[in-house]
Amino acid sequence: MAKIMMAFQVLPKVEDARLFEVVDEAIAVVAASGVKYEVGPMETTMEGEPDQLWAIIREAQEACVNAGASRVMTYIKMDYNPGRTTIDEKIQKYREK
Amino acid sequence: MAKIMMAFQVLPKVEDARLFEVVDEAIAVVAASGVKYEVGPMETTMEGEPDQLWAIIREAQEACVNAGASRVMTYIKMDYNPGRTTIDEKIQKYREK
Amino acid sequence: MAKIMMAFQVLPKVEDARLFEVVDEAIAVVAASGVKYEVGPMETTMEGEPDQLWAIIREAQEACVNAGASRVMTYIKMDYNPGRTTIDEKIQKYREK
Amino acid sequence: MAKIMMAFQVLPKVEDARLFEVVDEAIAVVAASGVKYEVGPMETTMEGEPDQLWAIIREAQEACVNAGASRVMTYIKMDYNPGRTTIDEKIQKYREK
């Protein structure tokens, strides 16, 4: 199946002082996954096959739970548009400025 | 695994006149799935196990593609909070008024 | 200006035991506003003019802060499509079943 | 009032061939506004006062309409957490790698 783009944000329920640390655990899962990704201020965008990206999001949630989160609200955007637009095509010109 | 709540909205790319009909195909997938669900104006909320609900969302996207959509933007909210709050607990009092 | 539809979800940062109570404060603002609205499990949808609905969301956030929230993550969907589809048209058939 | 972070994505309804061009019109509004911003693959994040950022989003929607969009679905995330975390603090380390 062709690659698609999915962005997600996790909001783990932890004490304030540990929030960034726990979100970093989620991003570490993405980084370790091998898919192309881009970290933004309020979501991380990935490229890959739908089920592969879903598995990464689930693993990122579990990483939050393992780091102490009692609850992980998650917001996902999915551009189900097989093979068409890549992360690079979308933002390249804004990064080159 | 305990049940969680997931809400999703599909935005299929089709001609205006067919938009509601195609979204109805997606909702029909949810209705046929057997999970508890609630249709809202801008998203449908379901209760079930995470992988089960993901499979329903994927099937709903395919239903949109089969109905003619060239692209299906999808917005998902996931309350990863195993077993705690149900749809009924959240909105019961607002429906009883 | 014609009416549009906006849905929003607030996630106030408060102790667990007070979460529903604080979200209810936000919904009370919507109820008191006089606009047509529908409470769902993960968002409340309203009909009105854009700036009017924005003012309600801002007031709902302040209600959360006044009720003790130190932070209010807010997720908004806006169907900027003046005058076309109403909440009733979208979900009527699913409520009549 | 202290600055907050808001991210938004516009989905203008236009013919496929003009989609990027119309989204660029929306981003041009942000760029011309003078606020700090970051363009991502599926949303643009801004820093500023809530009403100021709302006005930019509204102007970006109008820019889409002026460029030919018949409808502009808009997805907004708002971190209502006055003065605390900036875009730079959130993603700096991921850009420095």
CATH number, position C44: 3.30.70.930
pLDDT, tens only, C17-62: 999 999 999 999 999 999 999 999 999 999 999 999 999 999 999 9
Q: How far is B28 from chain D (nearest CA, A)?
A: 23
Report chain D residues whose CB lies below 8 A from the CB of A27: 94
pLDDT class for B82, splitting at 50, 70, 90?
Answer: low
CA distances from C79 to B61, C84, D12, D90 (A): 20, 10, 10, 29
User: Which chains have 3 or more CB–CB distances shorter than 8 Å to chain C?
Assistant: A, B, D
What's the half-sphere exposure (Cβ side, CA atoms, 13 Å) at A59?
A: 13
Domain, as residue range, for A73: 4-96
So what's the pLDDT on residue A87?
Answer: 72
CB contact under 8 A, A42 and D39: no
| Tens digits of residue pLDDT in B3-54 | 899 999 999 999 989 999 999 999 999 999 999 999 999 999 999 999 999 9
| CA A53, A56, A58, A61 torsion-angle sign | negative
> Which residues in chain C have Cβ-Cβ distances shorter than 8 Å to B7?
40-43
Give the model's pLDDT for residue B19.
Answer: 94
The end-to-end CA distance of chain B, in Å, is 34
Find which of D10, D15, D71, D73 to mutate to test the B interface (most B CBs within 10 Å of its CB). Answer: D73
Phi first, then psi: give them for residue C8, nearest 5 degrees. Answer: -145, 155
Stretch D4-17: mean pLDDT: 95
- Tokens at D60, concatenated: 């970006």
Task: Say whether pLDDT at B85 is over 70.
Answer: no
Shortest alpha-carbon distance between residue D8 and chain A (Å) = 10
Instruction: Determine whether the interchain pair C75/D77 forms a contact, defined as Cβ–Cβ distance below 8 Å.
Output: yes
ipTM over 0.85? The verdict is: yes
Do D71 and C58 make contact, defined as CB atoms within 8 angstroms?
A: no
| Residue A42 to chain C, least CA–CA distance (Å) | 11
Contact assignment for C73 to D78 by CB distance below 8 Å: yes
| Residue in B closest to C9 by C-alpha | B77
Residue with tokens 């970006």: D60
Nearest by CB: C75 against A16, A70, A75: A75
The nearest alpha carbon in chain C to A71 belongs to C16
In the Cβ-directed half-sphere of D49, how many Cα atoms lie within 13 Å? 4
Q: Which of D 16-75 lie inside 8 A of B, CB atoms?
A: 16, 70, 73, 75
User: Would you write out chain A's pLDDT as a tens digit for each of its 97 residues?
Assistant: 578 999 999 999 999 899 999 999 999 999 999 999 999 999 999 999 999 999 999 999 999 999 999 999 999 999 998 656 567 777 777 876 5
CA angle D22-B75-A29, nearest 5°? Answer: 105
What's the number of domains chain A is made of?
1
The answer to whether position B76 is within a domain reads: yes
| Prediction pTM value | 0.90
Asked if C78 and D81 come within 8 Å (Cβ–Cβ), the reply is no
Contact A6, A45 (CB under 8 A): yes
